[in-house]
Amino acid sequence: MNVLSPFSSIKSRVVVSTLAAFLVSLWLLSALTARALEKDISQQVAAAQASAASQMALHLERELSARLQALEQIAGRITAEMISNPASIQQLLEQQPLMHNLFNISVLAVNRLGIGIADAPYRAERIGINYRDRVDAFAVALEEGRANVGTPLIGVSTGQPLIPFAAPVRDDHGTVIGALGGAIDLSRPNFFDDLTGQGYGRTGIYSIVSRSRRIVVTSSNPELIMYKLPEAGVNPVLDRAIRGEEGTYPYTTVLGIESLTTVRGVKVTDWFVAAITPTAEVFAPITDMRQRMTLIALTVTLLVGIGLWWLLRWQLRPMLTTVDTLGEMTVMTGAEKSLPLTGSKEVDVLIAAFNRLLERLTAREEENKRFRTIADIAVYGKAISDLDGNLVYVNRFLAEIHGYTPEELIGKKLTMFHSPEQLDDVAKNLHNLLQDGFFSPRETWHVHRDGRIFPLLMSGVLLKDDQGNPRYLAASAVDITDRHAAEVALKQKNEELEEFVYIVSHDLKSPLITINTFLGMLREDIAANNVVGITEDLGYIKEATGKMENLLNALLQLSRVGRIDAPSQTLPVNKLVDNCLQVLAGSLRRRQVAVTVAEMPWQWHGDPLHFGQIWQNLIENAIKYMGDQPTPRIDIGAEERGGRLVYYVRDNGIGIAPEHHQRIFNIFSQLDRNSPGTGLGLALINKIVTACQGELWVESAGAGQGSCFCFTLPGALVGDNPPPETTEEEGLR
């Protein structure tokens, strides 16, 4: 049963489509509005941040400049004599309380070598230490002779982040003879707290960054103080700020926060100030607006949908009533009836057209029923497919001949009737059908469900509609399996007959030549009254006629195989073997042949004479071609090979070269022309075995290696017989 989707209704589709268009319009309007607001807000935030960052940078410049100027003023009061007398410098520094307000940890004086000589507040461990190599601010002051803000570092004694300052000390000639420095411990209260402590906005922060060292000097976020920034190339926006570009950028912070960042440089050092506001705060009004618009859109959509559903139901009632009537007609049995009119002009026009179409379809359905009845009971195959090769009709004959039911084939590709090797021929037939409108009867090979192939005589025609457009492909098929089998059998018989005539004429000609020759010699011997010669001539003539008689009798026996219906009997296999061994007991005793017969618990049903000829001829051949074997032996039995029951007669005689394994089964074929017999024994056995759907072959490694004649006889085997004990050895043993 087909379950209809809720959206299969016209009402549902119209309502959903309208609501979808309405929602898309609202959401599109919302998206465009939000985009415009984002742009405006971004510009406003950028302007506000730029102002704040500029003020922050200006304030920072003033603070840094004030500290550098203070250091320069005190450094200007230090003379060369005071450098030689550190106590005087210590006294000077302790008399400057303002310096302790500007530098919250220490004010330190060093000599020309960078060795600490005075410290306020005084700490003995700072005296005598070389600061030139440890603090770059002292190195710049001593080497370049200028006041500067050094690189932030971690204090050795405090273990806290410090910002060093230094100014050069000069003698009367302007030569740098030392330096005066101060440091701010960022872990203690300092002027940076006033600048960055409150952050920016609700969740934004200020950060002061050293360009040359790529570190955060200080920040509103304590986690970022002395934070090492990524190397160049990792963050392009950060790289732009490091290069000195000022402006406002979208930026992902080192903590992974999307933000809007404004950068302003500080002139007295290589630092810059960054005002950073998370985009979540920047665009919070837009997010709130979107949520409100979404709620409003859903509410309005629900109300519009309910109203639209009611309106469509009222307007489409006549058409829906007609649809319900049509639905009832699809489950009704019997002839379809015309639809009643509804009073709605548009719907009644549709109903009238439908009723006319229904009349035509009814007439066509009756015609189709007659065609199906004829085709379904036909004794030939009939199939129809669309232009893509999908089957739309298959009669019972064609389906069953392929091993299917018609229902299994509907909708399948017609190529399933053919093997991959046959698809080129099928494509050629279809091309002719589409081009010429038909293809004449021709033999094609088809594949049965079980995999076997069989021939059909196929013809086809292209079916067109009333406008002449191709619509379907129709094909008819006649089973010619029996005819084809008869043709193959006739061809095989003709080939066998040609071979037979050639061999018989050759072998019968030999004794005739002998008779003709010795008749001439007999005439001469009679004329010469040569009694001895006459006797010899008559002996040769008699021997030749005897050979001819044997050949003719053997040919007669061979020709009767498969044609004369002797009474069939069911006999145990071992009994047939025992009967043959009794007949050949004299020959076996003379050659002293040891015979071993395995237990063969099977029965054969058929002509007992033919069964006896199989065993007797094979055993006789084994005795005849035993050669000079001092301990002749024959083994008789059966074994399973590859799911087949194989009987065998094995000897240890002279053997057969591999190149003669096929030749020996031809009529009159003898490897040794001087051996007794007619050469028809193996040919006779082969014909008997073939008549029982079996196979005969020989296995031998060559001269002196013995022979093993094997055969199967499935057509004679009776019932469910126990399988033989499977041996691990195969072939000649």
Q: What pLDDT score does 638 carry?
A: 94
**Residue predicted with more confidence, 163 or 430:** 163
Indicate the pTM of the whole model.
0.40
Confidence of residue 35 (pLDDT cuts 50, 70, 90): confident
Lowest mean pLDDT among 360-374, 435-449, 707-721: 360-374
Residues 441-473 pLDDT 10s = 888 888 888 888 888 888 888 888 888 888 888
How, if at all, do strands 161-170 and 215-219 pair? Answer: unpaired
Kindly report the backbone phi and psi dihedral angles of residue 181, in degrees, each rounded to the nearest multiple of 5, phi listed first.
Answer: -135, 160
Rounded to an integer, what distance in angstroms lies between the CA atom of residue 297 and that of residue 302?
9
Rounded to an integer, what distance in angstroms lies between the CA atom of residue 252 and that of residue 263?
14
Lowest mean pLDDT among 240-244, 293-297, 449-453, 599-603: 293-297
Q: Is residue 531 a contact partner of residue 522, using CB atoms and an 8 Å limit? A: no
Query: Which of 708, 604, 733 has its CA nearest to residue 648?
Result: 708
Helix axes 608-624 and 573-583, enclosed angle (nearest 10): 50
Query: What's the CATH architecture for 569-712?
Result: 2-Layer Sandwich (3.30)
Q: What pLDDT score does 71 carry?
A: 93
Choose the CATH number for 485-560 among 3.40.50.10320, 3.30.2310.20, 1.10.287.130, 1.10.3720.10.
Answer: 1.10.287.130
Is residue 161 within a helix (H) or strand (E), and if so which, with residue range? strand 161-170
Q: What pLDDT score does 107 carry?
A: 93
Tokens 């050629």 identify what position? Answer: 428
Rounded to an integer, what distance in angstroms lies between the CA atom of residue 89 and that of residue 91?
5
Q: What pLDDT score does 549 carry?
A: 66
- What is the rounded average pLDDT of the residues 63-91? 92
Lowest mean pLDDT among 205-209, 316-320, 581-585, 721-725: 721-725
* Same fold across 77-184 and 485-560: no
Contacts of 278 (CB under 8 A, 6+ apart): 203, 204, 257, 258, 259
**Tokens (6 digits) for 507:** 């072998």
- What is the rounded average pLDDT of the residues 99-122? 91
Query: Which of 186, 262, 264 has its CA nearest to residue 225?
Result: 186
Please say if the pLDDT value at position 269 is more than 80: yes
Q: What pLDDT score does 720 carry?
A: 55
Rounded to an integer, what distance in angstroms lies between the CA atom of residue 668 and that of residue 551?
9
Lowest mean pLDDT among 212-221, 242-251, 486-495, 594-603: 486-495
Q: Provide the mean pLDDT of the chain.
A: 80
The CATH topology of domain 378-477 is Beta-Lactamase (3.30.450)
Q: How far are the Cα atoms of 510, 511, 532, 544 from residue 521, in angstroms, in the given order?
A: 17, 15, 12, 15
Q: What pLDDT score does 115 carry?
A: 95
Lowest mean pLDDT among 256-260, 264-268, 284-288, 393-397: 284-288
Lowest mean pLDDT among 232-236, 398-402, 482-486: 482-486
Q: Is residue 214 a contact partner of residue 206, using CB atoms and an 8 Å limit? A: no
Residues 587-637 pLDDT 10s = 888 889 999 999 999 999 988 888 888 898 899 888 888 888 889 999 999
Q: What pLDDT score does 632 carry?
A: 94
Q: What pLDDT score does 140 carry?
A: 93
- At position 713, the amino acid (one-letter code) is L
Q: What pLDDT score does 142 carry?
A: 93
Confidence of residue 728 (pLDDT cuts 50, 70, 90): very low
**Residue predicted with more confidence, 291 or 137:** 137
Please say if the pLDDT value at position 729 is more than 50: no
Rounded to an integer, what distance in angstroms lies between the CA atom of residue 583 and that of residue 550?
20
C-alpha dihedral, 412 to 413 to 417 to 421, nearest 10°: -150
| Most confident residue range from 54-63, 528-537, 581-590 | 54-63
Please say if the pLDDT value at position 73 is more than 90: yes
Please say if the pLDDT value at position 719 is more than 60: yes
Q: What pLDDT score does 696 carry?
A: 92
Query: Which of 192, 168, 196 has its CA nearest to residue 180?
Result: 168
- What is the rounded average pLDDT of the residues 579-589? 85
CATH class of the region 77-184: alpha beta
Contacts of 224 (CB under 8 A, 6+ apart): 205, 207, 216, 254, 255
| Most confident residue range from 32-36, 398-402, 711-715 | 711-715
Q: Is residue 83 a contact partner of residue 178, using CB atoms and an 8 Å limit? A: yes
Rounded to an integer, what distance in angstroms lies between the CA atom of residue 311 and that of residue 290?
31
Residue spans of the domains in the chain: they are 77-184, 321-368, 378-477, 485-560, 569-712
**Residue predicted with more confidence, 711 or 12:** 711
Rounded to an integer, what distance in angstroms lies between the CA atom of residue 220 and that of residue 53?
13
**Residue predicted with more confidence, 668 or 250:** 250
Kindly report the backbone phi and psi dihedral angles of residue 570, in degrees, each rounded to the nearest multiple of 5, phi listed first.
Answer: -110, 115
Q: Print the SS3 string covering 363-397.
A: HHHHHHHHHHHHHHCCCCEEEEEECCCEEEEECHH
Lowest mean pLDDT among 242-246, 332-336, 374-378, 694-698: 332-336
Residue 142 burial (C-beta neighbours within 10 Å; 0-12, 13-18, 19+): buried
Rounded to an integer, what distance in angstroms lies between the CA atom of residue 690 and that of residue 665?
12
Confidence of residue 51 (pLDDT cuts 50, 70, 90): confident
Rounded to an integer, what distance in angstroms lies between the CA atom of residue 584 and that of residue 589?
9
Rounded to an integer, what distance in angstroms lies between the CA atom of residue 620 and that of residue 653?
12
Residues 171-189 pLDDT 10s = 989 999 999 999 998 888 8
Residues 203-226 pLDDT 10s = 888 889 988 889 998 888 888 888
Q: How far are the Cα atoms of 210, 236, 631 from residue 230, in angstroms, in the given order?
A: 13, 10, 98
Rounded to an integer, what distance in angstroms lies between the CA atom of residue 562 and that of residue 710?
21
Q: How many residues does the chain have?
A: 733
